A and B are shown apart, each in its own frame.
Chain A
């Protein structure tokens, strides 16, 4: 390996131009993937296309969790809570005015009279999730390790309890069904691209490095002038905003949301995706999310034919234990595999 003082000037040039090549590579990837999505939409059954959308949203959620849990080293299980909040907020906003009055008698006048299209509803849902995270984060982020995990797990139960009991606004346990199906595979794909691009930029920025510094050693990070409390809140809130939008998208994809749709099991599955991929590895999270979504969908007919419901969960859990024993830091650790890294960021040292 050549060290920096003997690097010829030409190499310096390359440093300036290569990031652009990373950008080109990213655009090309998105174009090729779009073509593949288009082909899938034309050639495959609507069931498969919906599955594909589900896979995209799951992957986006896993990547957003990578940001909180992987990069910043928080151990949050709160994603389903924020997803539920986002889904309900968006659902109430997009619900047809004609049905709102009878189904949700508890809504205030002005809400009952509004009906938004999906994009503003998603933005408001994200903002609601972010606000909740700001509020909760202020309280629980001073907790470490499994204290934080259980507090966020508790948050899921608090949110579910509210959704279950606040009948006039949420319709209780029955949930909101018959939502307008405003989300198709393109929305899911767009969301995934946005989340990945955003997280990637963040990871390789000074902010991202500060986050990783907090993860590695909070005291040392603080000594080098980083404010860990602020960074943690920031990571938690960003993760929550993305989770809320993801939850809203998912609800409008399957056109139903109940208090139990996003459960603790989902929190576990998302965490598994992050851990198997390697906490902090965006590519790892993508790969693991795809693998686990496909695996559990593929096992569903098996479960139904044998009558062993829960089999896929057991397999996922056992896979996790095996990965933890063989590769405790996940498939790719905290980094990105070399090829991917060079292709998209144009740097060797990233």
Chain B
């Protein structure tokens, strides 16, 4: 039993890592422009398909990873420049619908270009072998996901808390106008936040096919929504909160499926969104964020 439990724990951590990668970018972007980027999930899809294309072309894996990071960054910057910049300062609802429209455009363009047919996608055999640690065995893919995510998040924290760019980002998130008055190049900072956040989402896409075996043009929708749930769990706008939220969500989801009888496994997504509603009711500003009174 405990062995089975540990197995599920690793599984949950690896799923949680993917959610954390998507959720962090989501949260960074929200923190800076105060808009939910609905197209964020679609960057995961773009990352997954660029990985597939590069694998088919026979590019070595480390180079693919770097390339996917770059593709994600470019995608994020394009979304910012084409849509977000022009609606900055518009009402929340306008912004929300606009990003929903971007998401629909990306999804349907992908459907047109790539067809809706799911494609098989596998990591090379050595990544799929299972290694045992004290009776618990995990696939190398899961371990790679967990480790690489931790490295990337570590790098992100270094950027955000130890560099000038990071300081500028935090200042812009705090108060865009004040940051601009203090001489922060706001446009460039926002662009950088989009680039970094989307690059992380694209890496989640890089792992997606390897973990689940199949990719299709609409795969980004559910992770996008779940990343939002993860953000809400941790407190929207906080990077650490998004990371924790991602891990909590991944673990909760896997344990829900793993510990309950088989016939409930179909209710997985139902469970996730019920969890969202419960958390919003109990702690509307997230588990790790101080509650702030709203003023008129």
Contacts and interface: CB of A to CB of B under 8 A. Distances in A.
Interface string B63-98: 000000000000000000001001100111110111
Given A157-B225, A161-B270, A314-B112, A140 B277 contact: yes
Given A75-B96, A142-B284, A310-B109, A154 B277 contact: yes
Contacts of B104: 265, 268, 313-314, 316-317
A157 B108 contact: no
Contacts of B222: 157
Query: Counting chain A CB atoms within 10 Å of each CB, which of B87, B108, B266 scores highest?
Result: B108
A92 interface: no
B207 interface: no
Interface string B139-170: 00000000000000000000000000000000
Interface stretch (A121-129, A145-153, A190-198): A145-153
Nearest to B96: A146
A266 to B, nearest CB: 12
Contacts of A143: 280, 284
Nearest to A136: B277
Contacts of B36: 146, 149-150
Contacts of B116: 309
Contacts of B87: 324-325
B296 A219 contact: yes
Interface residues of A, number: 44
B292 to A, nearest CB: 14
Contact of B105 (A154, A219, A317): A317
Interface residues of B, number: 43
A149 B109 CA distance: 24
A154 B276 contact: yes
A162 B229 CA distance: 19
B229 A154 contact: yes
Interface of A is mostly: helix
Given A161-B270, A271-B97, A324-B87, A151 B276 contact: yes
Interface string B218-232: 000110010011001
Query: Counting chain A CB atoms within 10 Å of each CB, which of B98, B102, B222 scores highest?
Result: B98
A264 B273 CA distance: 15
B267 interface: yes
A147 B34 CA distance: 12
Contact of B281 (A139, A165, A264): A139
A147 B233 CA distance: 12
Nearest to A150: B228
A147 B232 contact: yes
Given A308-B112, A314-B109, A153 B225 contact: yes
B174 interface: no
A268 B100 contact: yes
A260 to B, nearest CB: 12
Contacts of A161: 266-270
Interface string A129-170: 000000010011011011101110111011001101100000
Nearest to A74: B93
3 closest A-B pairs by beta carbon, nearest first, are: A154-B273, A310-B108, A161-B270
27 contacts: A139-B277, A140-B280, A143-B284, A146-B36, A149-B36, A149-B96, A150-B36, A150-B228, A153-B225, A154-B276, A157-B269, A157-B270, A158-B273, A161-B267, A161-B268, A162-B270, A165-B267, A272-B97, A272-B101, A275-B97, A279-B93, A309-B112, A311-B108, A314-B108, A318-B101, A324-B94, A328-B90
